[in-house]
Amino acid sequence: MIDEKRLVEKAVAAMKNAYVPYSRFRVGACALASDGSEFTGCNIENASYGLTICAERVALYKAYSEGKRDIVALAVAAEVEEPVSPCGACRQVILELAGNAVVILSNRDGSRVMRTTPGELLPYGFKL
C-alpha cells in the first residue's frame, strides 16, 4: 500500500532545496522504489538556461543511479494553486524510467492533488 500523502509531503519538502535564481519557481519531487527506498529531487537552474534540470528528472536519475529501477510512485509538487503539470521533457523521461508508476501531482502544500499515469501524461510517447 503506497502512502501517497507521505510521498507528496516529501515532494513538498524537497521544494525548499530548489536552486531557482532565474525563475524563482520551486518544484519538488519524490520517487518511491518497490523496495521502499525514496529519492527526492528539486529543480536546479543554470545561467545557461538550457542546462536547467527539472525536479522530476533529478529524482528519477537519483533512483536509477543508485540501481533502483522499479519505480512504483512519483510525487511532484510546485508553487502553484492547482496540481502542477509536468513539462513535456519530464513526461518523456517519466514514461521510460517510471512507466508503471502512479504519478501524483500536487500544488504547493499538498492541499490539491491529482493522480495520473505516465501513459495519460504522454499518450503515444516516443519509444525505441
Contact footprint for ligand THU (CB under 6 A): 20, 23, 25, 27, 43, 45, 52, 54-56, 86-87, 90
In angstroms, give the least distance from the CB of 42 to ligand THU: 8
**CB contact set of 43 (below 8 Å; sequence gap of 6+):** 18, 19, 20, 25, 26, 27, 52, 53, 54, 55, 58
Return binding residues for substrate.
43-49
Q: Are 60 and 41 in contact (CB under 8 A)?
A: yes
User: Catalytic annotation on 4?
Assistant: no
In angstroms, give the least distance from the CB of 1 to ligand THU: 27
Return binding residues for Zn(2+).
54, 87, 90
What is the C-alpha separation between 81 and 4, in angstroms, rounded? 19
Q: Exactly one of 9, 56, 66, 120 is catalytic; which is it?
A: 56
Q: Catalytic positions, please?
A: 56
